[in-house]
Amino acid sequence: MKRLPVAWLLLAICLAGTTWLGTRDLTQRLSTQVTDLLPANERDPGVRLVRSLATTEHARTLLLVVDGLTSPSERSQAHAILDATLGSSPLIAEIWAVDAPQLPEATVETWTDQAVAWFWPQWWEARGRPTDADIIATQVVDALSAFLEQPESAFWEDHITADPFLLVPRSMEQLGDALNLATTTDAPGAEPTARWWVRLAVSPFSKEGQEPVFRLLQEAEAALAKGVPGATLRDAGINRFAAASEAAIRAEITRLNLLVALSVGILCLLCLRRRSILLSLVLIVATTLICGAVVTLLLFPRVHVLTLVIGSILIGVAVDYGLHVFLEADSRSPGERLRKVARPLLVGSLSTIGGFLILTMTDLPMLRQMGVFIAAGLATALAASLLYAATPVSKKPVRGLERIRPGSSARPFFLLFIMLTPLLAGLFQIEWADDIRELDFPLPDVHANDAAVREAFGTEEGTAYLLWGNSWASVATTAEQLDLPETATSLVPWISGPELVQTAHAAATQLPLEKALRDALEEGGFSADAFAPFFDQWNQWTGSAWSAARYEMAVSAQLASLPGPAALMAGGDAQNRWWLIRSPHPLQASFTEHLIPLAQLDSLNAVFTRYRQEAMKAAGIGLGILALGLLAGFGLRIGVAVLLLPVFPALLVLGTLGWLGHSLNLFHLLGAFLSVCLTVDYIVFALQARRWRHPLPASITLSALTTSISFGWLATSAIPAVAALGLTVAPAVLLAWFLALSLTANAQPLGIADTREIGF
Amino acid sequence: MAKTAGMRLFIRPRLAAGFFVFVIGMVLSVRAAIPGDLATPENLLDPKKLSPEWQELLGNLQPKPALEATFREQRENDFRRGHRVFGGVLRVWGDRGVSLRYEGAIDVTLVAAPGAVWRRPAEGTWTSYAIDPDTGMAAWSRALWNLDLAALAESFTIHGRQSTDKHWELLLTPAGDHRLPRVHLQGDRRALTSLEVEHNPRRRTLYSLEDVNRSPDTGDWVQYFPEPE
């Protein structure tokens, strides 16, 4: 086979792959969300709920603060301007003035229409579950008369005929904390504050939820500055983090890929005598990257960009295979070279591919994606390299590298390694510190702005909990057993449990309330007929049967009616329902599995620890499979050597990091495993060269250099997880190369080719 | 057989007639308080093209920039027989809004300030009242009590007339939003004396003002408004 048809074939594959990628909506397929790094079907209910929190309505919240106002009228103007600019936009679903919240009329009307079904059981419970209709009627009329003597009753007068029990005003008081309805001011000297809570109509992670929203906010600020000179607008929201994170990660991908490509390219240019080889290598690498991306996107509906960041090491690894082929120039013919290269190349690459495929068995989506991306890419690189192995290559294509020899004795090398061995003791000093934030791009400016805006909203003291269950009934029942302190903020007082609703409904059906209330109203100076809306509602409720399904529907409707920030106090899907509870003091509950402290970071970090342990197990299994393969392929002695020699540098690096007091995480572990997979072929080629008393093939040296440079660049990444990976792999690869070099001590110069097959 | 009250009415025609006159009077006082002949094309007022008479009158009536008066508030509803009466001191203070200090058994101050309604009991702090809707008190009452016809014209169609006996009246009819009330204002050359707010066919509120002072000393008014300069 000639090299040109191979080049055309790879070029065609690249073009086809690029065309396919071009037709995908990559903005939707590639994710920058940290939550996408966690599996959607995570078995820890707490993390599953936290994940749903981060991706649903909670994430759609924007906080706005207007500074520079000098009077209440300016605040009023600011409100009108923001209402006009933001409220009319399809990007905004709801605006809630935190300093002077107003219940939407639609909300009050909905509550009034459903007052009996939603709120009457609580009224009945609060009065000791009375069963005498006359007593109830007298209490209602007395309370109503007293209420109407309050000047502020004017605001309720349009709803009185549907709600003589005053259930809605009472329920509004119960929601006061959750909705910040009872905004107070110690008037003298108080500066007018201007804060708004905004709910986006679009996802903050989507295109529409970012730039268009930022433009809208700019327009609002411009309108504000025009209407209220000196006023400025600050905002905070997930979309700021998402946009900044995406931009930073994209820049990081570009930077790392560019640096790796340039470094590897320059190194190859310096070491390779023939530029045509370089072009072939470029084709191999391009095909590798494109095929890796295509296969990954075919298998995963959404791929995290970190996969691609870490995947940039493919450049450094894929180029190795080509180098092995092209630098085996002493072979007399392509067939002989293929025969010489194929076996060690296959063993080395398949072991690496197998190692990465093990990652697909883990739970962490990113690891699975990375496993597929690199395994698919390396399989492509292997195939392309083997195709090139069957093509003619000019003699001595490499310069300089073959002169790197360990000398006639391996003793100094082994002495050096023996001296380094005590560092392995550091393995026992390793401190694991799993922090989900290591996966995120550090954005200090965005964090600072977010903290400043949130400070204007006041810090929420205490602990937040998620109370969850598989139905609203189970959540409400658990809530009733909680014995929450009065200072706790929750929906517990606002939503009746199923037992209460059922009992109240049963009692209500036995009450001759309409007659008793009509009489009491007439006696109290009211026109009973005017209260027809209430009696209709009462008769409808008592006339229908209670059922668990009806209870679920009623609570869903009740929660759906919540406006503003209160809407965030409950959520979930058909399988998992939750309420948010905020308590100034830790809650003592025996049924902790249904009450999860919302220390989100701790929950996620705990899961992260679990993933590390699972990755450790996966790595162990991977090494076991690798060991079996090597033992089967090479026999006991060589097999053990091929397995243990790459493991030693990896352990040495981890031990050194442990000894230095560097906290390790999942990605250090992953790096160690990766380095073993990457350097197996170094040892295989080194042992082959040792057998033939040849020096270490130049391809191994060049490969080690390109790989360590690739990972060295990763070590400079601003993303701690990526840096951890680079920091582990780069020195481990260099150490493995050094070890391989030492194995070829006492080598004979090339040219006295021993064509005997190596005995493995 | 004992005679019922209804039967006694028929037995005593004079008493019956008196009762019906009273009832009709009550009904008329509720249903026909806002004169039907005011909303005619010739009475339509355009705040941008006010006649010199209206300009002069409004100049006399508007707070400068504050106003203080005692008020009587009468509330009428279809669900309650009779009406309820409240009273106290009304204060209008420029952009600050309108403060109604209710006096008597229940001492509470309600303020329709820009953007919100605030409430404060005699001993206590200001609390915003979250039930006033977009079309409620905070939205229009400041313009109303300041007699700011230009601002009112954004939401209402305005009709008005002045009579030779120095009496004047204005009728505000919702221009578009049916949730807004219909408002009828009356007064003399010196002051606004009564204001009737028909919220809907089932509810209305009547205000009557006395002792109107358009140049009060606002020195201690900070206690009547939630957010001082």
- Dihedral over alpha carbons A569, A570, A572, A576 (to 10 degrees): 120
Residue A48 CB partners (closer than 8 Å, separation 6+): A41, A42, A576
Contact A179 B130 (CB under 8 A): yes
Is pLDDT above 60 for B20?
Answer: no
For testing contact with chain A, the best of B129, B179, B205, B220 (most A CBs within 10 A): B129
State residue A597's pLDDT score.
74
State the smallest CA–CA distance between residue A155 and chain B in angstroms.
6
Distance from CA of B101 to the nearest CA of A (A): 10
Type of residue at A29: R
Q: Is B58 found in the same domain as B15?
A: no
What does each C-alpha distance from B86 to A201, A330, A512, A736, B36 come to in angstroms?
Answer: 45, 109, 36, 92, 28
Q: Tell me the pLDDT band of A334, cut-offs 50, 70 and 90.
A: low
Confidence at B9, pLDDT banded by 50, 70, 90: very low
Checking if the pLDDT of B79 tops 90, the result is yes
Mutation site, B128, B135, B179, interface A, largest A CB count within 10 A = B128
CB contact under 8 A, A156 and B131: yes
Q: Do A527 and B78 touch (CB under 8 A)?
A: yes
User: Is residue B113 assigned to a domain?
Assistant: yes
Q: What is the pLDDT of residue A359?
A: 78
Do B56 and B85 lie in one domain? The reply is yes
Instruction: Indicate the pLDDT class of residue A754, thresholds 50, 70 and 90.
Output: very low
How many helices, marked H, and strands, marked E, lie in chain B? 5, 11
Indicate yes or no: CB of B227 within 8 angstroms of CB of A151.
no
Helices vs. strands in chain A: H and E counts, helices first: 27, 11
Do B122 and B218 have their domain in common? yes
By Cβ distance, the residue of A97, A188, A530 closest to B79 is A530
Instruction: Report, as an integer, the average pLDDT of A335-351.
Output: 73
Beta bridge partners of B69: B90
Task: Return the domain boundaries, chain A.
Answer: 3-30+242-439+601-743
What is the Cα gyration radius of chain A?
35
> Are residues A157 and B127, on separate chains, in Cβ contact within 8 Å?
no
Task: Give yes or no: residues B94 and B207 share one domain.
Answer: yes
Question: Between residues 48 and 77 of chain B, which touch chain A (CB distance below 8 Å)?
Answer: 73, 75, 77
Residues B60 and B153 in one domain: yes
Q: What is the dihedral of CA A530, A532, A533, A535, to 10 degrees?
A: 140
Option in B110, B133, B228 nearest A152 (CB)? B110
Q: What are phi and psi of A39, to 5 degrees?
A: -65, 140
Helix orientation angle between A275-299 and A365-389, rounded to the nearest 10 degrees: 140
Say yes or no: B97 and B204 in one domain: yes
Over residues B156-200, the pLDDT tens digits come to: 999 999 987 789 999 999 887 777 889 999 999 888 999 999 988
Q: What value does the mean pLDDT take over residues A568-596? A: 77
Q: What pLDDT does B27 receive?
A: 44
Q: Which is nearest to A238 in space by CA: A260, A256, A258, A214?
A: A214
pLDDT of residue A601: 52
Residue window 157-216, chain B: list those with CB within 8 Å of chain A: 179, 199-200, 202-203, 205
Provide the pairing of β-strand A61-67 with A195-200.
antiparallel
Instruction: Considering only residues B202 and A192, tell me which one the structure prediction assigns the higher pLDDT.
Output: B202
**What is the C-alpha separation between A715 and A416, in angstroms, rounded?**
25
Q: Is pLDDT above 60 for A446?
A: yes
* Residues of chain A positioned with their CB less than 8 A from the CB of B75: 154, 157
For A237-268, write each residue's pLDDT tens digit. 888 988 888 788 778 878 888 888 888 888 87
Domain identity same for B13 and B70: no
Q: Which residue has the higher pLDDT, A439 or A268?
A: A268
- State whether A103 and B84 contact (CB < 8 Å): no
pLDDT at A424: 78
Most B CBs within 10 A among A66, A69, A76, hence the mutation to make, goes to A76
Q: Convert the pLDDT of each residue in A618-668 to its tens digit.
A: 777 777 777 777 777 677 777 787 778 888 889 999 999 988 888 888 888
Whether residue B60 sits in one domain with residue B161: yes
The CA-based diameter of chain A, rounded to the nearest angstrom, is 121
Comparing alpha-carbon positions, the chain A residue that sits nearest to B142 is A73
pLDDT class for B11, splitting at 50, 70, 90? very low
The Cα–Cα gap between B29 and B198 comes to 13
Among candidate residues A657, A687, A683, A681, the one with its CA nearest the CA of residue A669? A657
Region of residue A189 (left: phi > 0; alpha: psi -120 to 50; beta: else): left
Select from A101, A186, A192 the Cβ nearest to the Cβ of B125. Answer: A186
* Residues B96 and B199 both lie in one domain: yes
Provide the whole-model pTM: 0.71
pLDDT at B32 over 60: no
The per-residue pLDDT for range A133-158, each reduced to its tens digit, is 999 999 999 999 999 988 888 888 88
Helix (H/G/I), strand (E/B), else coil: B206:
strand
d(CA A92, CA A216): 10
- Region A585-590 average pLDDT: 68
Residue B229 included in any domain: no
Residue numbers in A near B113 (CB within 8 A): 72, 76
Q: Is the pLDDT of residue A453 over 90?
A: no
What is the average pLDDT across A194-204? 88
- What are A530-547's pLDDT values in tens digits? 999 999 999 999 999 889
pLDDT at B90 over 90: yes
Q: Would the CB atoms of A188 and B222 count as touching at under 8 Å?
A: yes
Cα separation, A289 vs B115, in Å, equals 59
Contacts of B116 in chain A (CB under 8 A): 97, 99-100, 102
Q: DSSP per residue over B82-95, as a string?
A: SEEEEEEEEEEEGG
* First CA to last CA distance, chain B: 74
Q: Indicate the pLDDT class of residue A41, thresholds 50, 70 and 90.
A: low
Q: Distance (Å, rounded) from C-alpha A54 to C-alpha A76?
A: 33
In chain B, what residues touch A73 (CB-CB under 8 Å)?
A: 95-96, 114
Residues in chain B within 8 Å Cβ distance of A525: 80-82
pLDDT, tens only, A297-326 = 999 888 887 777 666 667 767 777 887 777
Structure confidence at residue A521 (pLDDT): 96
Residue of A nearest to B205 (CA): A154
pLDDT classification of B33: cutoffs 50, 70, 90: low
Question: How far is the CA of B148 from the CAs of B62, B68, B228, in angstroms?
Answer: 8, 17, 22
Q: CA A221 to CA A291: how far, in whole Å?
A: 47
Percent of chain B with pLDDT over 90: 33
**Lowest-confidence range among A125-129, A552-556, B23-27?**
B23-27
| Chain A residues within 8 A of B97 when measuring between CB atoms | 72
Angle at B55 between CA B54 and CA B58, to 5 degrees: 80
Residue range A425-436: average pLDDT?
76
Q: Could you list the residue range(s) of the whole structural domain that residue B141 is in?
A: 42-224
Cβ–Cβ gap B133/A75 under 8 Å: no
Backbone Cα Rg of chain B:
20
Q: Are residues B94 and B5 in the same domain?
A: no
Burial degree of B109 (CB within 10 A; 0-12, 13-18, 19+): buried
How many angstroms separate the CA of residue A616 from the nearest CA in chain B? 56
- Structure token pair of residue A275: 């530029």
Amino acid at A140: V
Q: How many alpha carbons lie under 13 Å from residue A197 in its C-beta half-sphere? A: 21
Nearest to B126 among A149, A179, A187 (CB): A187
Whether B56 and B141 share a structural domain: yes
How confident is residue B26, by pLDDT bands cut at 50, 70 and 90? very low
pLDDT tier at A515 (50, 70, 90 boundaries)?
Answer: very high
**Cβ-defined contact of A105 to B200 (cutoff 8 Å):** no
The predicted model gives A374-400 an average pLDDT of 77
Residues of B within 8 A of A157 (CB-CB) are 75, 77, 199, 203
Q: What is the predicted pLDDT for the residue at A128?
A: 93
Q: Scanning every residue of chain B, which has its alpha carbon at the shortest distance from the alpha carbon of A192?
A: B227
Q: What pLDDT sits at residue A38?
A: 66
Instruction: Kindly give the pairing relationship between strand B83-93 and strand B97-103.
Output: antiparallel
Q: How far is CA B182 from the centre of its chain?
A: 10
Strand partners, A198: A62, A95
Query: If you measure CA to CA, which chain B residue comes closest to A78?
Result: B115
CA angle B200, B203, B205 (to 5 degrees): 110
Whether B162 is covered by a domain: the verdict is yes
pLDDT at B118: 82
Please say whether the beta carbons of A519 and A526 come within 8 A.
Answer: no
d(CA A246, CA A280): 33
Say if B115 is an interface residue toward chain A (CB within 8 Å): yes
Q: What is the rounded distance in angstroms from the CA atom of residue A66 to the CA atom of residue A193?
A: 8
What average pLDDT does the structure give for chain A?
80
Residues 10-49 of B with CB under 8 A from A: none
- B95/A183 touch (CB, cutoff 8 Å), yes or no: no
How many Å separate Cα B141 from the centre of its chain?
9
Contacts of B80 (CB under 8 A, 6+ apart): A148, A525, A526, A527
Q: Dihedral sign, CA of B20, B23, B29, B35?
A: negative
Q: A1 to each of A7, A324, A537, B127, B197, how far by Cα in Å?
A: 11, 18, 87, 87, 97
Per-residue confidence at B133, pLDDT binned at 50, 70, 90?
A: low
Q: Map tokens 């509950």 to a residue.
A: A589
Could you tell me if residue B36 is inside a domain? Answer: no
Instruction: Name chain B contacts of A177, Cβ cutoff 8 Å.
Output: none
Q: What was the pLDDT predicted at A51?
A: 64
Structural domain count, chain B: 2
Q: Which of B78, B131, B142, B221 to mutate to test the interface with A (most CBs of A within 10 A)?
A: B131
pLDDT of res. A141 = 96
B157 and B193 part of one domain = yes
For residue A288, how many other CB atoms are within 10 A of its CB?
30
Percent of chain A with pLDDT over 90: 24
Write down the pLDDT at residue B4: 41
What is the number of CB-based contacts under 8 A between chain A and chain B? 130
What CATH number should be reported for the domain holding residue B82?
2.50.20.10
Q: What is the pLDDT of residue A330?
A: 56
Q: How many CB atoms lie within 10 A of CB A146?
A: 12
**What is the CB neighbour count within 10 angstroms for residue A598?**
19
Tell whether the model's pLDDT for residue A607 goes beyond 80: no
User: Minimal Cα distance from A71: which residue of B?
Assistant: B229
Instruction: Give per-residue pLDDT as tens, A53-73.
Output: 666 667 788 999 998 887 766
Tell me if B37 is assigned to some domain: no
For chain A, give the percent of residues with pLDDT over 70.
81
CA distance A729 to A173: 60
Nearest CA to B149 out of B158, B140, B136, B162 is that of B158
φ, ψ of residue B176 in degrees (nearest 5): -140, -55
